[in-house]
Structures are given as C-alpha cells and as structure tokens.
Amino acid sequence: MADSFLGFRRAGGNVGVRNHVLVLGINGLAGAATRRIGQAVRGTVTVATPYGRGQVGPDAAMHTRQLIGLGRNPNVGAALIVGVDRKALDAIAGEVAKAGMPVETVALDDVHEDALALTTIGLKKAAQLVRHVSAQRREAFPVSALRVGVECGHSDATSGLAANPLVGKVSDRIVDGGGTVIIGETLEWLGAEHLLAGRAATPAVAKAVTDAVARREAYPASLGIDLLGNNPGEENIRGGLSTIEEKSLGAVAKGGSRAVAGVLEHAQVPTLKGLHAMDGPGYSPESITGFVAAGAQLVFFTTGPGNSYCSAIAPTIKVSAHPQTPGRLPEQIDFDGSAILGSGEDADTTAARLYVHTLAVASGTATWGEILGEGDEVFVRLGPSL
C-alpha cells in the first residue's frame, strides 16, 4: 500500500499521527500550574489558554469550541484537563471525552485553591496517562485518514512562485486519495475568491466563500481602514506583486486545484472529505489553531525567509523554496523546495518528494518544530471580556 502511513487508531474512524497526552488548561487562572504539570511529565504536550472567564455570547462559544476541538484532535491519545471550577471543567471534559479516549481532570476547586496540590495530583494523573498511551502501536492507514491544514507565513515572491504551488500539488494528491485539506486566511482569498467559488461543490458553498471575503473586507472598512489601499503593500510591490489578485492567487495556490467541498467557521470540524475553506484570521498562530481544533493532524507551513512557529498538537512541516533559506535554517525548514527555482527541478518531481516526506512525518518522523519545542496554540477571541 504505497499511499499509506502508520498512525494510531482512534474511536469513530479517526487516526492520529502522534499519540500525545495533552495537558489542556482551560482557564488562565490555572495556566502556570498547567504548564508546571506538562513540564514535569515527559511524553505530554501542554496547551493552556490565557482566557476562560468573563467571556459571553459568540466569544465564549468560540473559546469553548477551540478548547474542545484541540482536546478531540486525533493526535491526542489521552487528555488531562486542568481547570478552576469543577462545573466548567466537567462540561468541557465531557465534550472532549466524546472522542473516545481516556480523559482525566483536576480542578483548583478540588484542592482549596492550592496550585501546588493541584500540580501533585495532575502530575500523577498525567504520568498514568503517559504509561497508558505508550502501550498503543502504530498501524497502517490510507491517506484518506489524513486531515491537513495549509498555511503560509512570512511569505515572499518564492512562496507564490514555488512553495505554495508545491504544497498545492500535495494537497491535490491528499484530496485525490480521499483525505481532507483545509485552507484558511480568508483575507488572502480576496481577489482570488472567484477561483475558490468557481471550484465550489455547490452554489451554497460558492456563496459562502464570497460572503466570507465580503465580511472580512467590510470589517476594516467599518473602522475607516482602507484595506485595499494597503494591499499589496510597498514590500509586495518591490517584490514584484502588482495587484491583490496576484498576491491572493499565490496564497490560494497552496490549497491546490480540487473542488471546494465546504466552507467552515473557525475551528469547525468538517463532516465531509476533500478541500475545505476555513473562514478565519490571517494571523498564522490563530489560523493554525483553527485547523488543529477542526481535527487537522498535520500542517503544511510555507515560508520565504523562514518562520519558526508551529502547532503544539499537529506536526508542522515547514516548506521553503527560497534559494538560501533552507541552507540558512537547516534546523527549521523541514522540506527544501528550492530546486524548483534553482536547478529547475520539475515541480511534480519536487511534489512527489514532499508527498513521501509528508507520509513519513505522518508515520512518526519528527519535524524540526517538534524536536525544538516550537509548538504552541493561540486562541481566537470574538469579543471583549466582561
């Protein structure tokens, strides 16, 4: 089975490419204690929100959706959820546990607000979970089990020329294999949304794409900010980009060329396979957390001059096609695509190499970001705290 990888079987047909014990802090009041537990127990990954109180309406719902989505990510083999009040903790833990893996909890409520006692209990629970997940073995799964987010950050001319189209070719291959690809950053569809809408599976999906762009366009306008006047910016123009269409076409190339099956809200889990467009922010840390909370097990992250940011939960494959960047950042760039522009390697040949590397990472090969601990998750806010 050529197009397969070795992953961890999860309930509901999901497959993890990692077997993390996630230490998930759901309230900033316990953030430091959450991180202390994670640091003390090898084999854990820690995500601790700085928020969690005083949030209402859509902002509260979005925060909760992101926490639950991160907890349910298929790369999580077990979770220790750390909170403040028992009621909020049980509500989130109950939702996370629906993914079918072991979930333990610890709350400051349980220990009379003693963060050190919380640490002791949490540490013991996390240790038990690490031992439990270590017994699980990888099995072969088809590419259709993959859900991959595609992101670009610190882009330059080589991103639109080579790195994004390269990732686009691999995106197509994953979609053709029955898998799922999620492209976000709504603002970078502006001027290329006709292309995404033109590939929409249904008229409703096409309308959702153009409506999402119109909303992103209207927000800065409502604040009196002339978005189009700044885009492409002076740096882009110096770099040879002439219009917003040209800039966005370079960005959406990383989503490949297949039909758009659906438009997702930020952190919304897709119910279909295939290419999806997530209506979300252009700031990479937030955008990537949206993908991961939607269940992406892997992320492609293209860059021109380099960008060290990674997801904590999903291995993040850094791709650069800049002639100098891979050589200058050998412990950051996971895949060197510079041969496309340098020696004139056929882009399909480069894409075949990236596809093989992707399946290797899905099977356990470490990314530089994992080795160096560059991972984080950053939560979107939709309104002010009360």
Partner 1 sequence: MRDALRLHSEDDVAVALRPLAAGETVSVDGLAIILRADIPMAHKLALRAIAAGQPVRKYGEAIGEARAAIAAGDHVHVHNVVSRRARNST
Query: What does the binding site for partner 1 look like in residue numbers (CB under 8 A)?
Result: 156-158, 161, 165, 190-192, 195, 226, 228-229, 231, 237, 239-240, 242-246, 249-250, 253, 341-344
Q: Tell me how far, at minimum, the Cβ of 157 lies from partner 1, in Å.
A: 3
User: Between 227 and 269, whose beta carbon lies closer to partner 1?
Assistant: 227
User: Between 134 and 230, whose beta carbon lies closer to partner 1?
Assistant: 230
User: Between 336 and 370, whose beta carbon lies closer to partner 1?
Assistant: 336
226 φ, ψ (degrees, to nearest 5): -90, 95
Q: How far apart are CA 214 and CA 109, in angstroms?
A: 45
SS3 25: strand
Q: Tell me how far, at minimum, the Cβ of 219 lies from partner 1, in Å.
A: 16
End-to-end CA distance of the chain: 54
Q: Tell me how far, at minimum, the Cβ of 322 lies from partner 1, in Å.
A: 11
User: Between 172 and 245, whose beta carbon lies closer to partner 1?
Assistant: 245
Q: How far apart are CA 165 and CA 120, in angstroms?
A: 49
Q: Tell me how far, at minimum, the Cβ of 350 lies from partner 1, in Å.
A: 13
Q: How many CB atoms lie within 10 A of CB 316?
A: 28
| CB contact at 8 A, 362 and 297 | yes
| Residue type, position 102, single letter | P
Q: How far apart are CA 121 and CA 108, in angstroms?
A: 11
User: Between 237 and 366, whose beta carbon lies closer to partner 1?
Assistant: 237
Q: Which of 226, 199, 224 is nearest to 210 (CA)?
A: 199
Find all residues with CB under 8 Å of 103, minimum gap 6, and list them: 71, 78, 79, 80, 81, 93, 96, 97
User: Between 79 and 197, whose beta carbon lies closer to partner 1?
Assistant: 197
Q: Tell me how far, at minimum, the Cβ of 242 lies from partner 1, in Å.
A: 5
Strand ranges (E), 108-171: 139-142, 147-152
Q: Tell me how far, at minimum, the Cβ of 280 lies from partner 1, in Å.
A: 21
